[in-house]
Amino acid sequence: MTPTGTKPRWPTTNTFLQIALLVSVAGFLGYYDGIRFIIPPAPLVLGLQVIVLLAALVLHRADLLTFRTGLVPLVLLATWACLTVLWADSPETAGQRWLLIFAPGLLLAALAAADAFPARSFARLKWALVIITIASFVFSLSIYIFGEVIAVGELLRFRVVDLGGWTIGVFEGGRQYLDQTIYIHRFSGFTSNPNSFALFAALATIMLCATIGRPRDTRGYAMAGVFIVILFILVISASRAALAMALAGIVVVTLLRLEQRRLAQLCVFGVLALTCLLYLAAVLQSTGAGGKGAEVFEFRERADIWRLALSAIGNVWATGVGFGLTEEAVFAPLGVPSSGHSVPLSLLLETGIPGLVLLLLTWFWPVFALTRRDRPLDGTSIAIVALLIALFVHQAIDSSVFRYHWAHFVFVYLIGASSQLAARRENG
């Protein structure tokens, strides 16, 4: 760390971290032109990430290479995932995906762990997600009012506006309930699909819930108003995964604000148990043994995918098929175009039981490190604990983390920031 009394080298780790986070989140935003999702080229986003992170490593290598206990599980998971490349059917593909995900991911986590101002970085990320959520909603609403519908399926369509030859629009994945008597418009905003848009709203909801204070003045009332707006956007998104995530996060925030740390820790085991029950219910629904439930609780294509994934575990549970190869090694031979729709199941298939254990340690070690009773919890620590537990709820039925996706970089940032905050708590 920078010696006491000396001026930190500029740009500071905090500056580099904020730039890296901005690139890692905003780089995945775009719009539809009625045919495809227009987004900055992946090589450009990756290149900017690597340039910023390597510059931080060169200028602040003493800070970034400082031993951080909280990063050990992530490093071990990355190491084991790298080893699985050796026995993968396509080592070149698995190796490329490992580099794409873990090279910038580890550097970003290390940068977050070295951040001298973790609360400031977290606050700016929070407001970035709030702005993206509100801007996406306004954009979707504008396209809905002024746009033209291009149908591509029964419930799938584009809404576009022609601006003198430049076509911009959103993707609409509608959802019907109660025997098609209720139709819910679900728009993608500045993301690739409605569920990704809802994930932005869920993250922003939990962040605001954890850091908002009692509205005693104009600023406080403004914060409360922003929270209500974001919550409204989340609710009308009708994303079951995002709503479940937000509910879990709000429960954890409430428990920690009431100093019920043991109950918040028990939420980890509750989430894991409910995840197992979720997979069991999906398998029963897929085979017909569970009967047909209410539409809102139907797993649709996920039920069949999870059943196939669970049936494949018996052959690969020890070492996995190789990192990043769920689709090619497990589902493609069965004629199913899917990557698993579940991070725990995907990592289990790709890296075996050792990888799953390391995944759970990586995900939940910070929860227990930050909720020890030796120090009071600030809003940032509460938010990170709630976000980690809630994000696992979301990723149990989705697969964005440990893929080249903006949510993965938010996740590794949370791991790094939690390491910094836990170290501060230990050092007093």
Is 346 or 8 the better-scoring residue by pLDDT? 346
Compute CA 277 distance to the chain's CA centroid, rounded to the nearest angstrom. Answer: 22
Q: Where does the pLDDT of residue 337 fall: very low under 50, low under 70, confident under 90, or very high at 90 and above? A: confident
pLDDT of residue 373: 77
Residues 49-108 pLDDT 10s: 999 999 988 888 887 776 577 899 999 999 999 999 999 999 999 999 999 999 999 999
pLDDT of residue 32: 95
Task: Indicate whether 306 pLDDT > 80.
Answer: yes
Q: Which residues on neighbouring strands pair with residue 172, listed in sequence order?
A: 157, 187
Which residue type is seen at 365?
A: W
Q: Which residues have C-beta within 8 Å of that of residue 205, sequence separation ≥ 6?
A: 227, 230, 231, 234, 246, 249, 250
pLDDT of residue 197: 96
Task: Indicate whether 1 pLDDT > 50.
Answer: no
Mean pLDDT in residue range 246-256: 97
Task: Indicate whether 314 pLDDT > 50.
Answer: yes
How many degrees, rounded to 5, is the angle at CA 347 between CA 346 and CA 353?
Answer: 125
What distance in Å separates the CA atoms of residue 82 and residue 351, rounded to the nearest whole number?
9
Number of H helices, E strands in the chain: 15, 7
Compute CA 132 distance to the chain's CA centroid, rounded to the nearest angstrom. Answer: 15
Q: Where does the pLDDT of residue 330 fall: very low under 50, low under 70, confident under 90, or very high at 90 and above? A: confident
pLDDT of residue 174: 75
Radius of gyration of the chain (CA): 22
What distance in Å separates the CA atoms of residue 364 and residue 382, rounded to the nearest whole number?
14
Classify burial at 268, counting beta carbons within 10 Å of its beta carbon; exposed 0-12, middle 13-18, buried 19 or more. Answer: buried
* Residue 204 φ/ψ region, left for φ over 0, alpha for ψ in the -120 to 50 degree band, beta for the rest: alpha
Is 189 or 223 the better-scoring residue by pLDDT? 189
Other Cβ atoms less than 10 A from the Cβ of 262: the count is: 10
What distance in Å separates the CA atoms of residue 177 and residue 407, rounded to the nearest whole number?
29
Q: Provide the CB-side half-sphere exposure for 56 (13 A, CA).
A: 30
Q: Where does the pLDDT of residue 407 fall: very low under 50, low under 70, confident under 90, or very high at 90 and above? A: very high
**Is there a contact between 326 and 341 (Cβ–Cβ < 8 Å)?**
no
Please provide the average confidence, as pLDDT, over all residues in the chain.
Answer: 88
Residues 198-216 pLDDT 10s: 999 999 999 999 998 776 7
Residues 357-375 pLDDT 10s: 999 999 999 999 999 877 7
Compute CA distances 252 → 198, 209, 224, 361, whole Å: 20, 10, 19, 19
pLDDT of residue 11: 79
Map out the domains of the chain as residue ranges.
Answer: 13-133+239-427
Q: Where does the pLDDT of residue 133 fall: very low under 50, low under 70, confident under 90, or very high at 90 and above? A: very high
Mean pLDDT in residue range 284-294: 59
pLDDT of residue 9: 62
